[in-house]
Amino acid sequence: MPTRPEPTLDRIHFDLTTLRLFEATAELGAVTKAAERIFLAPAAASRRIQEFEAQFGIALFDRLPHGMALTDAGRALLAHVRNMIHSVARMQDDATAFRQGSMGVVRVAACTSAVLQFLARDIRRCSELHPGIKIDLLELNSQGVVEAVTREVADVGIYESTLGGTMLPTLPYREDRLVLAVPHAHPLAECESVTLEDILPFDIIGLSEGAAVSLSLGRLAAQANRVLHMRIMVRSFQSMAAMIAESIGIGLMPQQVAVLLAGDNLFRTVPIEGDWATRRFVICHQPRHAMSSSGMALVEALTQSPSAQENS
């Protein structure tokens, strides 16, 4: 049996419609539903998927009795497809911004802590300094922020520094202080302050994988040779606050975030002793040669904001 020739770069051709069809098929599990989403005839959609697979010489979907499921190869290519679709959307946004007389669009990825505490005020100030810059904000955890800038999904990122180093250019941004949030009837509720040793014996409400708070607490517990009792993982400080209010566990959150969420006396906050409770946020960005003038103007405005200088 003759072997199928290896696909080469100059023989791989597809359009944006095919990429959107592939993404929709992966999400919906059926090419007919995907065709309906992007307004294609089912037969034409099925042919596009087959031609897409043929160009790479691999099966991207397993054909099942009641739908289609991504193969391992399909899952790997889906990440690239989504990046390409996002890049096209960025290109369209930039073109629209310039057509309307703006300086351009800057994609900013930021961790939730920074968004809730600092970034809204700083973006307002940046908008006053540079009204022609449009900002597309993507809220992620710290790990997701670095990945987004590394993969060029975002131009600028703001994350918590204990995540570790990166090859990207970085600048200091802001600081915050963690506090312990506890139910009113909790044994630690009446303490004037607590240490790491006080916290570790109790069930903790953690933030989802990649969040700087959870990663840092896990490292500290390991260094102390202690077990971290992460009872439940949630995706936001709002969800953490709701769990704490129902006495499901205790949690760590920035002091300013705790003030915002405690409303109606939902929980109590206790100061935490130790330098580890002070966190530093970092701005990272694409290499200067890859940054637009509007992107660098935004970075400069963020690092020179009065609130940022107070923490330097």
Per residue in 36-59, pLDDT (tens digit) is: 999 999 999 999 999 999 999 999
pLDDT at residue 97 tops 80: no
- Residue 70 or 12, more confident: 70
Give the mean model confidence (pLDDT) for residues 87-115: 77
pLDDT at residue 180 tops 80: yes
Rounded to two decimals, the pTM is 0.67
According to CATH, what is the number of the domain 104-174+280-310? 3.40.190.10
How many whole angstroms from its chain centre is CA 140?
2
pLDDT at residue 151 tops 90: no
Query: CA-CA distance, 47 to 209, in Å (whole number)?
Result: 39
Query: CA-CA distance, 202 to 253, in Å (whole number)?
Result: 16
Alpha helices in the chain (DSSP H): 16-28, 31-37, 42-56, 72-99, 112-114, 120-129, 142-150, 196-199, 212-223, 237-245, 255-262, 293-303, 306-310
Residue 307, pLDDT score: 52
Dihedral through CA 101, CA 102, CA 105, CA 108, nearest 10? Answer: -170
**If DSSP codes are grouped into helix, strand and coil, which group holds residue 281?**
strand
DSSP codes joined into one string, 163-186: G---SS-EEEEEEEEEEEEE-TTS
pLDDT at residue 106 tops 50: yes
Mean pLDDT of the chain: 87
Residue 8, pLDDT score: 56
Contact 55, 10 (CB under 8 A): no
Q: Which CATH number fits domain 176-279: 1.20.1050.10, 3.40.720.10, 3.40.190.10, 3.40.50.300?
A: 3.40.190.10
CATH class entry, domain 9-84 = mainly alpha
How many whole angstroms from its chain centre is CA 234?
14
Q: What are 155's two structure tokens?
A: 């131009």
| Domain spans, the chain | 9-84, 104-174+280-310, 176-279
Q: What are 11's two structure tokens?
A: 């023989």
Q: Name 302's Cβ contacts closer than 8 Å, sequence gap at least 6.
A: 122, 126, 156, 158, 173, 283, 308
Cβ count near 285 (within 10 Å): 24
pLDDT at residue 312 tops 50: no
Residue 83, pLDDT score: 81
Confidence of residue 1 (pLDDT cuts 50, 70, 90): very low
Cβ count near 77 (within 10 Å): 20
Residue 265, pLDDT score: 83
Same fold, 104-174+280-310 and 176-279: yes
